[in-house]
Structure 1
Amino acid sequence: MNIRKLACASALAFAVIQAPALAASGDVPAQQVNEALRAKLPENIRAAGKMVSVNNGSFPPYEIVTDTNAMTGASADLSEAIGQILGIKIEHASVSGLSALLSGIKSGRYQFAMGPVGDFKSRQEANDFVDYVREYVVFAVQKGNPKGINSLDEACGNRIAVMSGGSAERVIKAQAEKCAAEGKPALEVQSFTDQPTSILAVRSKRSDAFFSSQAPLTYFVQQAGGELELAAVGKANGFQDLYQGAVVSKGSPLGEVLLGAIKELVANGTYDVIMKKWGLQNNMISDPGINLASQ
């Protein structure tokens, strides 16, 4: 079995084991159709009765993709609730890498990505972000943190795994240049297409750390049987306020529609139920919005 298949199998196995416990922690209330929001959908979507949300592989606990391309996780629950509010079905499709996800939305092949995807000013040039969570970026390291990676500066001299095309990759590549400029040991950037493959690289000791969003890293650390822990928690690590959300093409009317649906879920308590169900209460924001990023 190759490393990608092994990583996905590991993630799926954990998802199956954990699903009953997670489900027991909070049932998601059914939603009523909001006719005013439904009327704002583009006519072709209303006629089709569906739209497609694209993902770039498992991003637990938000997106957990099965081998049949079914979806579970917090984003899947939010998508289902949004679909009920809009009176349509939301289907899911997977691509390889963030670049393919963003280009697929830009081309119109997919209507949106539930994500969440990191919102940055540079990305806002081609996309709009419907931000519904706040995230932090930290390291997942081997138990005991043998390399002593407690900050971004201490990543020098280590092999750091990141997801290809993501904001963490941009920051860690800049740090690699800084390490070189300061004459410190070289930082080796190891880019992977998905979260499970990245975390497996750390577990197999081919990488010294995985630099990524705290929420999914917490999830993976919990499944690692004591092999891993988080490091550099509570530090900026190259980021300021990091908002994440659903993604639509620039100027798409779907942005305001999705925002309206998410705000309804906040107001009626469903957002709270879903986020707590998946252990994401520390990532909640009280006032979702479009393009909240200031950097």
Structure 2
Amino acid sequence: MTASTSGRAAAARSRMAAAGAIAVTGALLLTACGDQTEGGKEGGSVQGSAAPLFSKLPKSIQESKVIKVGTDATYAPMEFEEGGKIVGVDPEVANALSKQLGVTFQFTSGTFDGLITGLNSGRSDVIMSAMSDTKERQQGIDDKGKKAGPGVDFVDYFNSGVSLLVKKGNPKGIKSLDDLCGEKVAVQRGTIYETTFKDQAKKCDKEKKGKLTIESFDSDAEAQTRVKSGGAVADLNDFPVASYIAKTAGGGDDFEVTGDQTEAGPFGIAVDKDNTQLRDALREALDRSIADGSYEKALAKWDVTDSAVDKATVNAGS
């Protein structure tokens, strides 16, 4: 989710049948809950000191053998709840990393715009939630340009652009952000998508093309519901998420993706800036997972291999 420091933002669960309900309604139930899944317990992961990178982890994690992960599990296919577990791209990547590190990745769901606060307060060790690596988040700058925290480091593991999600049939003929002038849009609060819409609203005003009205919600599922009902003309999402929603919600009859994919950039695993040991262990684990093929296998399970990286980077976002 691809933007502001305080939030998510903001890149498109049985898997096909359940996804529509989760994406538009069921996901609302997860926003502030403690649903958990444990990455690294599948696929024959090596647990403990026998794993190749276990010794490179901070002592506290070696002792607990758990990396606590903050996420917003309302964002299929990146992370969502299914059968009482959090599943998706990010948990699958965590499984691959677990084989290298020898610890369990324990996911807990909360609202996106509280994830960085949770990381900074120690409630989680990392964030894996389709979070875009941006300079503002690295520096702890909020969406008003003010210093709001110490910032975070990112281990970048995924690339994605953003796309507009509109009601099936695209009744307003939306093809680009410029077509939104004079319209109402819906978006998840605290995401970079909200920032993108705010920037577009300023452009609409400057060019005198009509006011762009923005409705912001705690979850993207709420924004989707608003678009589906006709109360807003578009939502903005990472391309894999928008594509997944369009294919699955309402059996593929509720939404469609329109316009070109724009603003491509990296998603990162967010780590506290003071925890460089964990950051570096994760970077090395990702490189090893890329080399042994388990990373690509994780992405292939969710049909998002086009977003793969060929090397782990740190703070490569702009």
TM-score for the superposition, normalised by structure 1: 0.85
Give the deviation of 1:66 after TM superposition: 4.5
Structure 1: 5+ residue runs without aligned partners?
13-27
Give the deviation of 1:65 after TM superposition: 2.5
Report Cα offsets for 1:76-99 as digits up to 9, x if no partner.
11212322321212211111232x
Between the aligned partners of 2:134 and 2:57, the Cα distance in structure 1 is 26
Residue number among 252, 257, 268 corresponding to 1:245 in the alignment: 268
Give the deviation of 1:6 after TM superposition: 8.9
Between the aligned partners of 2:98 and 2:215, the Cα distance in structure 1 is 37
Between the aligned partners of 2:221 and 2:164, the Cα distance in structure 1 is 14
Equivalent residue for 2:137? Answer: 123
Question: Does structure 2 conserve the Cα–Cα contact (< 8 Å) formed by 1:119 and 1:292?
Answer: yes
1:48-197 to 2 correspondences below 5 Å: 48-66=64-82, 68=84, 70-98=85-113, 100-125=114-139, 126-197=151-222
Between the aligned partners of 2:255 and 2:130, the Cα distance in structure 1 is 24
Question: Which one-letter code corresponds to 1:7 in the other structure?
Answer: V
Equivalent residue for 1:230? Answer: 257
Between the aligned partners of 1:35 and 1:60, the Cα distance in structure 2 is 30
Question: Which one-letter code corresponds to 1:269 in the other structure?
Answer: G
Question: Which one-letter code corresponds to 1:121 in the other structure?
Answer: K
Alignment length, in residue pairs? 270
SS at match of 2:295: helix
Among the aligned pairs, what percent are the same residue?
28
Equivalent residue for 2:296? Answer: 272
Between the aligned partners of 1:5 and 1:230, the Cα distance in structure 2 is 18
Between the aligned partners of 1:6 and 1:78, the Cα distance in structure 2 is 21
SS at match of 2:211: coil
Report Cα offsets for 1:25-80 as digits up to 9, x if no partner.
xxx74344664521121111111121210112311111012484x21111111212
Equivalent residue for 1:18? Answer: none
Question: Does structure 2 conserve the Cα–Cα contact (< 8 Å) formed by 1:30 and 1:81?
Answer: no
Between the aligned partners of 2:23 and 2:244, the Cα distance in structure 1 is 17
- Are residue 45 (structure 1) and residue 64 (structure 2) matched? no
Between the aligned partners of 1:8 and 1:257, the Cα distance in structure 2 is 37
Alpha-carbon distance change, 178 to 206 in structure 1, aligned in 2, over 3 angstroms: same
Alpha-carbon distance change, 174 to 65 in structure 1, aligned in 2, over 3 angstroms: same
Equivalent residue for 1:22? Answer: none
SS at match of 2:214: strand
Between the aligned partners of 2:240 and 2:88, the Cα distance in structure 1 is 12
Alpha-carbon distance change, 7 to 165 in structure 1, aligned in 2, over 3 angstroms: same
Equivalent residue for 1:292? Answer: 316
Which sits farther off after the overlay, 115-124 or 29-38?
29-38
Between the aligned partners of 2:83 and 2:111, the Cα distance in structure 1 is 14
Alpha-carbon distance change, 123 to 6 in structure 1, aligned in 2, over 3 angstroms: closer
TM-score for the superposition, normalised by structure 2: 0.79
Question: Does structure 1 conserve the Cα–Cα contact (< 8 Å) formed by 2:188 and 2:219?
Answer: yes
SS at match of 1:145: coil
Equivalent residue for 2:146? Answer: none
Alpha-carbon distance change, 61 to 290 in structure 1, aligned in 2, over 3 angstroms: same
Between the aligned partners of 2:28 and 2:121, the Cα distance in structure 1 is 30
Question: Which one-letter code corresponds to 1:9 in the other structure?
Answer: G
Between the aligned partners of 2:222 and 2:94, the Cα distance in structure 1 is 25
